[in-house]
Amino acid sequence: MKAIVLALACVAGSVVVAGCSHTPAKPKDDTPFHYLLDRTSEWTENKVDTLPALPNARDLIDFDVSQNTPLHFAVDGKSLDVGSDGVVRYTVVITSPTGARNVNYEGIRCDTYEWRLYAGLNADHDGWDRTVANDWTRIENGNLNAYHAALYQDYFCQNKVPMGTTKVILNNIRMHRTAMSQIK
């Protein structure tokens, strides 16, 4: 009987040792490792083939940028659009104390904190000029007239996505409900 128990113990020990010495095969993965933040995105911008109508004074909605600037800032409510690409497009009207106006059709990309100029008011003040368009540019915070930062942070974007639908954003601008004023 001792011989049988000894034989079973040897067999069981051999199985355990054999099982421990076998390492499972790793799946073959030859792809290089990339950190999540280093990955290139597959984002594609919606085409901007048509531009909105030039703004009317009755459709302008004022917004604050800084108490230190003499300029007056407004968004054309009829032009504002939240695109399926995460870009908020709008017409901005900047007026100086002497009445000079700068009118631009722009976009703010929420996921990258960037802005883009699509067109500006032409020299005759009767249409758009696309030759002034630029590519995506990082939004600057430090300028007194940094209206892009004010629009991004106060009304357009939150957590790298648009703050809501076109209607929600327009209502927030009309009521001067900034993102900070909505935190409870």
Place of tokens 């020299």: 123
Please state, in angstroms and rounded to a whole number, the distance separating the CA atoms of residues 2 and 112: 76
pLDDT, mean over the chain: 85
Please state, in angstroms and rounded to a whole number, the distance separating the CA atoms of residues 138 and 130: 20
The residue count for the chain: 184
User: In this structure, what token pair is assigned to residue 47?
Assistant: 């085409």
Instruction: Give the start-to-end residue ranges of the domains of the chain.
Output: 57-182
pTM (2 d.p.):
0.75
How far does Cα 71 stand from its chain's mean position?
26
Please state, in angstroms and rounded to a whole number, the distance separating the CA atoms of residues 82 and 166: 6
- Condensed to tens digits (0 to 9), the pLDDT of residues 119-140 reads 999 999 999 999 999 999 999 8
- Condensed to tens digits (0 to 9), the pLDDT of residues 26-50 reads 556 666 666 655 666 689 999 999 9
- Name every residue whose Cβ is closer than 8 Å to that of residue 177 and which is 6 or more positions away in sequence: 171
